[in-house]
């Protein structure tokens, strides 16, 4: 049994915390929304984030953006200032690597180990405990974190030093955006030339066109069961969230002087799709509709 503090109980953080409770850990929780705390049965609601870090073995946060992470961890009454040197800090938010490194450095300056550990797998993965964690930080800290993360994870990857978890997720999601939009584009081109989308999908899957979007998340309605494309693009990974992640990729490209022409175009295609089709709250595979506006 590990004593764990958990801050940020939204669509992702809530089920993650519940899985920690279910695994028998002693979990203290805090969220600005009181109802969110009640949603984690068996956990001990706290009056503040600071109360969650007091005397725990592991402190975990799951927040929307870099500014929230900065605000939670830094400053005179931030988590870094309040935590014991023995507490392991794990931020699971998806944020820019620079902020992740800055916060980790502040922790290191006080002798506290910290990891950036963004996830993929969505709310379904959070609930099922099958998330993928991409972790940045020292090897020793990653090993300390592993038993706790394993409760929530299918995979735990150690990407490198501080910030590397964020970078790995940014790179992965940029590539995902490119091949999802590319798959939608190739399917539309084939269908516009008279091909059956299911036949073309099958051919490309077994050929060099194969990729995750095509193979397990086909964006064309009616080709694959159980994916958002077959339920009106409801649920899944929202266009707005993919657009946010692509924004992090753009910032990371700028900071490192990298050329990202395809990632940039994907960013703009998802942005345009979101605004022209009012599609921000649809699954990101709905980009298919941008290419085939006549789809039902």
Part of the chain binding its own copies (CB under 8 A), chosen from 3-11, 26-34, 82-90, 209-217: 209-217
CA 139, distance to chain mean position in Å, is: 22
User: To the nearest whole angstrom, how small is the minimum distance from the Cβ of residue 98 to its own copies?
Assistant: 10
User: To the nearest whole angstrom, how small is the minimum distance from the Cβ of residue 105 to its own copies?
Assistant: 14
Q: Does 11 contact its own copies by CB under 8 A?
A: no
CB burial of 16-32 (b: ≥16 within 10 Å; e: otherwise) equals: bbbbbbebebbbbbbbe
3-state secondary structure of 131: strand
d(CA 12, CA 91): 13
d(CA 25, CA 176): 34
Distances in Å between the alpha carbon of 183 and those of 194, 204, 246, 288?
A: 17, 10, 18, 9
Q: Does 228 contact its own copies by CB under 8 A?
A: no
User: To the nearest whole angstrom, how small is the minimum distance from the Cβ of residue 107 to its own copies?
Assistant: 19
Sequence-distant (6+) residues with CB within 8 A of 80 are 73, 74, 89, 103, 106, 107, 110, 112
For the question of residue 205 being annotated catalytic, the response is no
- Restricted to residues 147-206, the positions that interact with its own copies (CB under 8 A) are 155, 157-161, 163-164, 167-168, 170-176, 178-179, 181-183, 185-190, 192-196, 199-200, 202-204, 206
Residue 89 contacts residue 116 (beta carbons within 8 Å) = no
From the candidates 154, 169, 244, 292, give the one annotated as an active-site residue. 169
- Judged by CB under 8 A, the number of residues near its own copies is 82
Q: Does 226 contact its own copies by CB under 8 A?
A: no
Q: Are strands 131-136 and 119-120 parallel, antiparallel or unpaired?
A: antiparallel
Residue 94 contacts residue 169 (beta carbons within 8 Å) = yes
- The pair phi, psi for residue 238, each rounded to 5°, is -65, 145
User: To the nearest whole angstrom, how small is the minimum distance from the Cβ of residue 24 to its own copies?
Assistant: 28
HSE-CB of 46 using CA atoms within 13 angstroms: 18
- Restricted to residues 104-133, the positions that interact with its own copies (CB under 8 A) are 120, 132
Nearer to its own copies, 22 or 255 (CB): 255
User: To the nearest whole angstrom, how small is the minimum distance from the Cβ of residue 30 to its own copies?
Assistant: 29
Nearer to its own copies, 109 or 208 (CB): 208
Contact letters (x/-) for its own copies, 230-269, by CB under 8 A? Answer: -----------------x-xxxxxxxxxxxxxxxxxxxxx
Q: Does 45 contact its own copies by CB under 8 A?
A: no
d(CA 250, CA 261): 10
- Restricted to residues 262-291, the positions that interact with its own copies (CB under 8 A) are 262-269, 271-272, 275-277, 290-291
Q: Which one among 13, 14, 15, 97 touches its own copies, defined by CB under 8 A? A: 97
Q: Does 92 contact its own copies by CB under 8 A?
A: no
User: To the nearest whole angstrom, how small is the minimum distance from the Cβ of residue 189 to its own copies?
Assistant: 5
Catalytic residues: 169
């Amino acid at each position: 049994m590990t004593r764990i503090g958990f801050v940020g109980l939204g669509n992702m953080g809530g089920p993650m915390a519940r899985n920690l409770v279910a695994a028998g850990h002693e979990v203290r929780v805090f969220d600005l929304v009181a109802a969110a705390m009640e949603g984690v049965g068996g956990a001990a609601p706290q009056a503040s984030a600071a109360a969650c870090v007091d005397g725990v073995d592991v402190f975990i946060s799951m927040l929307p953006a870099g500014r929230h992470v900065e605000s939670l961890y830094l400053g005179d009454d931030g988590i870094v200032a309040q935590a014991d040197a023995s507490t392991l800090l794990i931020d699971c938010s998806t944020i820019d690597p620079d902020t992740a490194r800055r916060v980790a450095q502040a922790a290191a300056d006080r002798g506290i180990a910290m990891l950036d550990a963004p996830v993929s797998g969505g709310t379904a993965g959070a609930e099922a405990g099958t998330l993928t964690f991409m972790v940045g930080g020292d090897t020793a800290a990653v090993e300390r974190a592993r038993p706790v993360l394993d409760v929530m994870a299918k995979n735990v990857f150690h990407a490198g030093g501080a910030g590397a978890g964020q970078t790995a997720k940014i790179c992965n999601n940029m590539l995902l955006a490119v091949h999802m939009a590319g798959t939608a584009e190739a399917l539309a081109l084939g269908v516009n030339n008279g091909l059956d989308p299911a036949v073309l999908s099958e051919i490309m899957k077994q050929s060099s066109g194969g990729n995750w979007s095509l193979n397990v998340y086909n964006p064309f309605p009616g080709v694959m069961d159980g994916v958002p494309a077959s339920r009106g693009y409801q649920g899944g990974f929202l266009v707005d969230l993919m657009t946010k992640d692509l924004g992090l990729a753009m910032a990371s490209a700028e900071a490192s002087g990298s050329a990202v022409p395809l990632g940039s175009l994907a960013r703009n295609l998802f942005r345009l799709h979101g605004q022209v089709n009012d599609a921000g709250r649809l699954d990101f595979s709905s980009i298919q509709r941008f290419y085939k506006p006549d789809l039902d």
